[in-house]
Amino acid sequence: FFLSLKLENKTKGKLQKQICQVVLDHFEKQYTAELGDAWSSVRDVLTSPWCWQHALLLNRFSPCPGLESSLAEQGYHPAFPAALPYLPKAFSCYIRAAPGRFPAQRHQPGKLKDYYLLNAASLLPVLALEVEDGEDVLDLCAAPGGKSVAILQCACPGHFHCNEYDDLRSRWLEQTIESFIPDALINLVMVSKLDGRKIGDLQPEFYDKVLVDAPCSNDRSWLFSADPQQAVLRLMQRKELSSLQFQLLRSAVKALRPGGSLVYSTCTLSKAENSNVINLLLNSCRDVMPVDISEMARGVSQEFTFLSGMQQHELLVLPQKGRAWGPMYVAKLKKISST
């Protein structure tokens, strides 16, 4: 009872966060133009935190007896159908139609957590990457570590490089990995604080799979910016993000072996940071080709709402009431021999 009361009070406190009007006005103009009629319902969810749904990614390294039956009693169900093109047996994520948040687990040194609370849409880039045992994998912008943890729920890489340039976020990443990955596997994981734009030159053609979950204009958090001046500054700097994203992608392509796969993702609706960046890369790199992910999108269409009219190598999850939330943009590419 005390836990649920504490959780309820904490949730109410979060719901009282004020929407930043300058950001909402900016989004209103941009996304009305880019999303058309879809923007109205998307805006309603983005501005209503009580609509947001948190999924649970279960930790295969710390099985918790009774957790799955307890989740089922509370209306949770597996988020991804077994019919997906790629869904490892150990990968287990639960979600429910009703909004709400399962209690978080505290970080305790030496003790593994049983589950990771996350936006279910953020697992789509990991499923699109299709990591297999023994592959060399790079998570280029890895903090806070949810996708790194998810990759390790799917497979056991031969070498797993998790990189995060920001010092504070890098420590967060290390703590996340420590919370979910047993000591026996920690030696597979290398955490670095390199400039992601330079990794391709430092480790050319080294990786089989690369995930670029790029820094972006995070629509959800920006809408609740506490400091209006900071919000204005963010919006002014927003145009520079696509340049950074493109440089990170160029680096990722260099780091890929021929035949290797690259997945790019963001948590913004912005076309400038999504399709436009991918199109620029495809037009400027002769050794990269798009990969069709429409089968995966069809497989999860019961849970997610996607923007229509996207190319087969990309998808954009639109936040909608009663659906697993986004935003989440995903695009998949493959490196071919340039000779």
| Catalytic residue (choose from 51, 162, 267, 285) | 267
Spatial neighbors of 260 by CB under 8 A, at least 6 apart, are 207, 208, 209, 210, 334, 335
Q: Is 267 a known active-site residue? A: yes
Tracing tokens 């053609």 back to the chain, one arrives at 205
Positions at the binding site for S-adenosyl-L-methionine:
141-147, 164, 195, 213
| Other residues' Cβ atoms within 10 Å of the Cβ of residue 202 | 13
For residues 23 and 219, the answer to whether their CB atoms sit within 8 Å is no
Rounded to whole angstroms, how far apart are CA atoms 119 and 105? Answer: 16
Q: Is the distance from CB of 84 to CB of 150 less than 8 angstroms?
A: no
CA distance 228 to 231: 5
- Give phi and psi for 41, each to the nearest 5: -75, -35
Beta-sheet pairing, 305-306 with 189-192: unpaired
- Annotation: binding site: 141-147, 164, 195, 213
Q: Where are the beta strands (DSSP E) in the chain?
A: 55-58, 77-78, 93-95, 115-118, 136-139, 159-163, 189-192, 207-213, 256-266, 288-290, 305-306, 314-318, 328-335
Token digits for 116?
A: 């990771």
**Which residues belong to the active site?**
267
